[in-house]
Chain A
């Protein structure tokens, strides 16, 4: 997989509700043009005006697939959206699901067959193209596959592919590692004001 990785440089300062520091640029999963030789390429753009778009060096993203076709990758992205429907998560995050499943398929013929067969079953149930079926229809189809190994593999992969990346951190407002900034001892660990404060006996003052 020749994807320029999303580097772990998306620091806490850039996240919502964090006040200090400059905003770092977000690296999107971009593939260099001359590397685009795989079986399929997923591409898209971040919606202009979205939080992510203001941080990314470019609003264009692309993910190269090695084993799965572009249509298969798109079906997986749509299935990811049915399983974990987040309006605020851009397609670029669901493309990571396709990328990670493609990587699984590239190293394991059995996994590749299971994924390709599963996607074919999605399309068949949709009477042609799962990706182009209505949202309601897609939901019914996925629900109908619950319990099958294909479903379990895709759903399980979603947990790390969708929720353990810098774009998801940003969207959900999770800054990740904080020690580089000295933790939260002087950065709002007890800044909640909408409830009565505990007594000093229950919660002594911090040692500064």
Chain B
């Protein structure tokens, strides 16, 4: 591992080591650029991952104080846990399911296609699918996405068999084991999926792509990476010309350190990224760094989500094998005849007994709840994930009344479902129930959204500095050497699981940063 000096102002500092930060680090290192990655979490490995739901949650999840407000049910059931994302080297790529879908063409221009929707802050991306296609292809190759680059699909497990049988009976056409960044056969020095289950608890076989054991070691091998785990960034500093000069962070020992930088890239996921910009307010940037538009922290999206579980007369054992290798894509398009704009994906999902008890219906009790737990081995499950509406009032702010262990104000996550989100969720619930009834379900259950795993949009990209935070390369409009490198830059959310697009944007951003560095514009 390289070790760069605190005063080396030639390095690129990347905050976060997940899908965005970890990928960007490797891409820059491969181009000969010196990179310091500051990761708040500690290092784990497939050997140290724990296949026990609560213990793993304690090991990987981001559990620093957060608060919630708004009418979303999470604010009642999980007031201190708005999101289920990670604080560990590799970030949420340790926990993600592996679903890797490209955005659809229209999802980059929803303002044009959907028109004005009341209460929604829709905007077209400053990018098109065509511009991103070559980068999507590189991301899929890097991650080893099944059903791309000649990589076979994963074998379907029992949960998929139920899902598939119901979907086919119902007349759905595009039904298969998904486009997954999980090796169906050995590839890139990693083995094939052993059907362990526990994809969400860190893949112990390393078959699922995570920056922890792909991008980061590759970056390290170049000699250009200085990865510093357990380094919590407190603020980004700038000079009197308004250029960022470095960051201040607390190291493993809790000691304050200052790392100088030529460029700073923020990839802390869509709650911590805007929080850090807001925490970096100064006399020059009174409302927070890169916030002349006032959009930092706003347009927080979390995808329309929900789950349907079903019980059958015969056993399923849904927990056996890959957690999410199964998809129905027929509802993903934009078809307003259904009563809402945008679309959703239906994907297989299972939880173990401990998490089923916690998430099936938070707060529920009594005989009916017990009936469901008693039928655990006979249950099948699916997750519903679709485009939600960006709203200016759904936002991350600093909560002055709650401080983290470094004395910094905790982020508050405010969210109100838009009517479109509610209409889509109800439609998706109904369709999910139909799928399982077609497969012979004796009962079905509508499970409300889990704490958010897809956190997006809080530093959106756009064509104009007036109403967006960064440009189409993630470069902030206000500060040329400050970049947004995670899902915060999404203008709108699309229906698809976002990781592939985050990785795609990171590859493209690395190319842009290298070019601009060579041209000495930043």
Contact = CB atoms under 8 A, between A and B. Distances in A.
27 contacts: A17-B377, A83-B366, A84-B369, A86-B373, A155-B363, A158-B365, A173-B377, A174-B353, A177-B51, A179-B198, A179-B204, A183-B321, A184-B194, A185-B195, A185-B321, A188-B317, A189-B158, A190-B156, A191-B158, A192-B161, A195-B165, A195-B440, A198-B175, A202-B153, A202-B176, A205-B155, A207-B192
Contacts, number: 157
A158 B358 CA distance: 10
Interface string A148-186: 000000010011101110001100111111110011110
A192 B318 CA distance: 10
Majority SS at the chain A contact face: loop
Contact of A83 (B175, B192, B195, B365): B365
A198 B373 contact: no
A47 to B, nearest CB: 17
Contact of B197 (A163, A178, A195, A207): A178
Interface string B149-185: 0001111111011101100100000011100000011
A160 B354 contact: yes
A197 B353 contact: no
B162 A195 contact: yes
* Centre residue among B186, B315, B439 by max chain A CB count within 10 A: B315
Contacts of B194: 179, 182-185
Majority SS at the chain B contact face: loop
A26 to B, nearest CB: 16
A35 interface: no
A140 to B, nearest CB: 12
A192 B158 contact: yes
Given A183-B205, A202-B175, A190 B321 contact: yes
A187 B196 CA distance: 10
A88 interface: yes
Interface string A81-92: 001111010000
A92 B316 CA distance: 28
A184 B358 CA distance: 25
Given A190-B321, A202-B175, A174 B376 contact: yes
B193 interface: yes
A192 B440 CA distance: 14
B357 A190 contact: no
B352 interface: yes
B131 interface: no
A203 interface: yes
B158 A172 contact: no
A88 B373 CA distance: 11
B517 interface: no
